[in-house]
A and B are shown apart, each in its own frame.
Chain A
Amino acid sequence: MDPRREHDRFVTRRHFFGRSSAGIGAAALASLLGPDLTAGKKTAGLPGIPHFAPKAKRVIYLFQNGAPTQVDTFDHKPELEKLRGTDLPASVQGGQRLTTMTQGKSQKVLPSISPFRQHGESGQWISDLLPHTASIADDICIVRSMYTEAINHAPAITFFLTGSEMPGRPSYGSWLSYGLGSENDELPTFCVMTSRDKEASCGQIFYEWYWGSGFVPTRHQGVKFRGSGDPVLYLSNPAGLGRKLRAGLLDDLAELNRLKYQQVGDPEIITRIAQYEMAYKMQASVPELADVSTEPQHVLDAYGPDVMRRGSFAQNCLLARRLAEKGVRFVQLMHAGWDQHGNLPTQLAIQCRDTDQPSAALVKDLKQRGLLDETLVIWGGEFGRTVFCQGDINNKKAHGRDHHPRNFCLWMAGGGIKGGANYGKSDDFSYNVAENPFHVHDLQATTLHLLGIDHQKLTYRFQGRDFRLTDVHGKVVKDVLA
């Protein structure tokens, strides 16, 4: 990068106003550079966005890292019981690529390890492993025809969250922060919390790029709240630094940085000024947010026994609701532990128990507060799992299911999604999509649509190309909309 050219790009007045919809948001910049740096509650997004009236104002993404099995949770295939232990027909497998873990091994059909029942007025089929999710059957839309391109965790998660299997693109929350701006300048627009199963039974890593900002300005990056110590690293002032003095010195520092910005025009300086400002505000707003002891007992109880354990999925779900109440645009929860290659019969029930109640409680809690209509909740992983058994089908202590990108399930609720509905169908083996395929880019296009964004128009020019979350794909699936 040539700094002089960067300078020219960013300080030409004509450039600012002429390219405002593709470059850094002129309105956002004006509000950051102006004297009332701290006055406004909202920071505008790009001009012209939303493109049309939104149904949802924000998103809570309950990302289930490791890939939940659809066979044992949402994709009911009772006929498979008759085929237990038989080879998966070659016509179904169709010569598709498998992971190296099951390539060339036998593929014996392993039906669901749990019975299914119909729930709610809508009669949705849900596994007994998810009794609490079953209680919100009429609020959710279950997609039973999800499919993706990737077959390993990190590329598949990156694909869901950034629209590309390769790291480096802006993540979903960054796009929303960039496009829609912020509704609360006391908290980050995009917050992230991670948790994992207590047994730490699989080795999934939360890579920072899952909430990275790629090439959009870095102030749109997700801020991760930690499960122990300071919720945000180094949020507390060290000994001997008073808050009042801090405020004054931060003003001075902003002024120094602004002088530099006027000289060199690097937009990352604006990001830095904004970040210091945000960090200062978070010193007050985050401890208040993280203090769940102010919640009434019945609310705490609803989220289940783990709610008071910091860093648990349950507490993160409760915090997600508190963030939604404060207008945070995108809350990304990530819970690892779904990768049951060799411990499905022993681990899946535990995994479901840790996530089922908090997820359902969040939807009910939002609904009870009148927030569900404007908050889109998404629950799902990066791919599904094979209907055939990995490992010895006769040894319940040591078998499971392998990665399966061809067909899996995901649910959404609120924010303009049709409740008590389902979309798409898999074949008799829960192996291939049989009806209404729903691609990852379709999910992105559809959910952006709910936020009032035409996914083809939210773009950012980088290295000579207009990039977007849905790359050059994606269609809005109207059938899942209320």
Chain B
Amino acid sequence: NDITFVEAARVFAERILISQETPGDRLATAFRMATSRQPSEAELAILARALERSMAFYRENPQQADAFRQSGEYPPAEGLDAVDVAAYGNVMNMILNTDEALTRE
């Protein structure tokens, strides 16, 4: 919940949204960037479910999406939908919080 960590997830999401087209590519790329490996199918399915969960929440609560989009000091990227940024941002936050991304073994 450190704001800098949330900000990192938010900007990570913006970057993925701009660089990748489909949800599948976006999730797989983000996962690979954080862990240096491709996700398994099971992992991808969990990520997809998390994305769906987040999308549903922010579609119902667009003001929350706007608030999320302002996290941290880094200027929000132009031309992106706040709901997309917030939903992906939450999934990025989750990926960055996996044991694998946090622990170097």
Q: Does B78 contact A (CB under 8 A)?
A: no
Q: Does A244 contact B (CB under 8 A)?
A: yes
With a CB–CB cut-off of 8 A, which chain B residues contact A260? 98-100
With a CB–CB cut-off of 8 A, which chain B residues contact A269? 99
With a CB–CB cut-off of 8 A, which chain A residues contact B53? 245, 248-249, 252
Closest chain A residue, CB of each to CB of B39: A256
Q: Does A39 contact B (CB under 8 A)?
A: no
With a CB–CB cut-off of 8 A, which chain B residues contact A367? none
Closest chain A residue, CB of each to CB of B69: A240
With a CB–CB cut-off of 8 A, which chain A residues contact B65? 240
Give the number of residues in A that approach B within 8 Å (Cβ atoms).
Answer: 28
* Contact yes or no, B57 A242, CB < 8 A: yes
The docked-state distance in angstroms from the alpha carbon of A268 to that of B100 is 11
* Contact yes or no, B68 A252, CB < 8 A: no
* Contact yes or no, A240 B46, CB < 8 A: no
Which single member of A235, A252, A264, A266 contacts B46 (CB below 8 Å)?
A252
Give the interface size class of chain B.
Answer: 35 or more
Q: Does A90 contact B (CB under 8 A)?
A: no
Q: Which of A242, A256, A257, A268 has the most CB of B within 10 A?
A: A256
With a CB–CB cut-off of 8 A, which chain A residues contact B3? 238
The docked-state distance in angstroms from the alpha carbon of A241 to that of B64 is 7
With a CB–CB cut-off of 8 A, which chain B residues contact A237? 1
Q: Does B86 contact A (CB under 8 A)?
A: yes
Which single member of A244, A255, A261, A272 contacts B57 (CB below 8 Å)?
A244
Closest chain A residue, CB of each to CB of B6: A238
* Contact yes or no, B103 A239, CB < 8 A: no
With a CB–CB cut-off of 8 A, which chain A residues contact B36? none
Closest chain B residue, CB of each to CB of A255: B46
* Contact yes or no, A252 B99, CB < 8 A: no
A264 to chain B, nearest CB (A): 8
A274 to chain B, nearest CB (A): 12
Q: Does B94 contact A (CB under 8 A)?
A: yes
Q: Does A236 contact B (CB under 8 A)?
A: yes
With a CB–CB cut-off of 8 A, which chain A residues contact B91? 249
* Contact yes or no, B2 A257, CB < 8 A: no
B36 to chain A, nearest CB (A): 14
* Contact yes or no, B98 A256, CB < 8 A: yes
With a CB–CB cut-off of 8 A, which chain B residues contact A249? 50, 53-54, 90-91, 93-94
* Contact yes or no, B1 A245, CB < 8 A: no
| Count, A-B residue pairs, CB within 8 A | 82
Binding site secondary structure of chain B? helix
* Contact yes or no, A242 B64, CB < 8 A: yes
With a CB–CB cut-off of 8 A, which chain B residues contact A239? 67-68, 70-71
Q: Does A259 contact B (CB under 8 A)?
A: yes
Which single member of B43, B54, B71, B102 contacts A259 (CB below 8 Å)?
B43
* Contact yes or no, A257 B99, CB < 8 A: yes
A326 to chain B, nearest CB (A): 23
The docked-state distance in angstroms from the alpha carbon of A248 to that of B54 is 9
With a CB–CB cut-off of 8 A, which chain A residues contact B1? 234-238, 241
The docked-state distance in angstroms from the alpha carbon of A168 to that of B89 is 38
* Contact yes or no, B64 A240, CB < 8 A: yes
Q: Does A3 contact B (CB under 8 A)?
A: yes
The docked-state distance in angstroms from the alpha carbon of A383 to that of B3 is 42
B90 to chain A, nearest CB (A): 6
The docked-state distance in angstroms from the alpha carbon of A237 to that of B64 is 12
The docked-state distance in angstroms from the alpha carbon of A242 to that of B57 is 8
Residues in B27-70 with C-beta less than 8 Å from chain A: 40, 42-43, 46-47, 49-50, 53-54, 57, 61, 64-70
The docked-state distance in angstroms from the alpha carbon of A268 to that of B68 is 31
With a CB–CB cut-off of 8 A, which chain A residues contact B40? 259
Q: Does A253 contact B (CB under 8 A)?
A: yes
A260 to chain B, nearest CB (A): 5
Closest chain A residue, CB of each to CB of B63: A240
B100 to chain A, nearest CB (A): 5
With a CB–CB cut-off of 8 A, which chain A residues contact B94? 249, 252-253, 256
With a CB–CB cut-off of 8 A, which chain A residues contact B61? 242
Encode contact with A along B8-40: 1 for CB under 8 Å, 0 otherwise. Answer: 000000000000000000000000000000001
A209 to chain B, nearest CB (A): 20
With a CB–CB cut-off of 8 A, which chain A residues contact B86? 240
Q: Given the interface contacts A245-B54, A259-B42, A259-B43, does A252 sit within 8 Å of B49 by beta carbon?
A: yes
With a CB–CB cut-off of 8 A, which chain A residues contact B71? 238-240
Give B contacts to A, CB under 8 Å: 1-3, 6, 40, 42-43, 46-47, 49-50, 53-54, 57, 61, 64-71, 86, 90-91, 93-94, 97-100, 102-103, 105
| 29 pairs from A and B in contact (CB 8 Å cutoff) | A235-B1, A237-B1, A239-B67, A239-B68, A239-B71, A240-B69, A240-B71, A241-B64, A242-B61, A242-B64, A245-B57, A249-B90, A252-B46, A252-B50, A252-B53, A253-B94, A253-B98, A255-B46, A259-B40, A259-B42, A259-B43, A260-B99, A260-B100, A266-B99, A268-B99, A268-B103, A269-B99, A272-B102, A276-B97
Beyond A240-B69, A240-B70, A272-B99, 6 extra complex contacts between A and B, CB < 8 Å: A236-B1, A238-B3, A240-B86, A242-B57, A249-B93, A252-B46
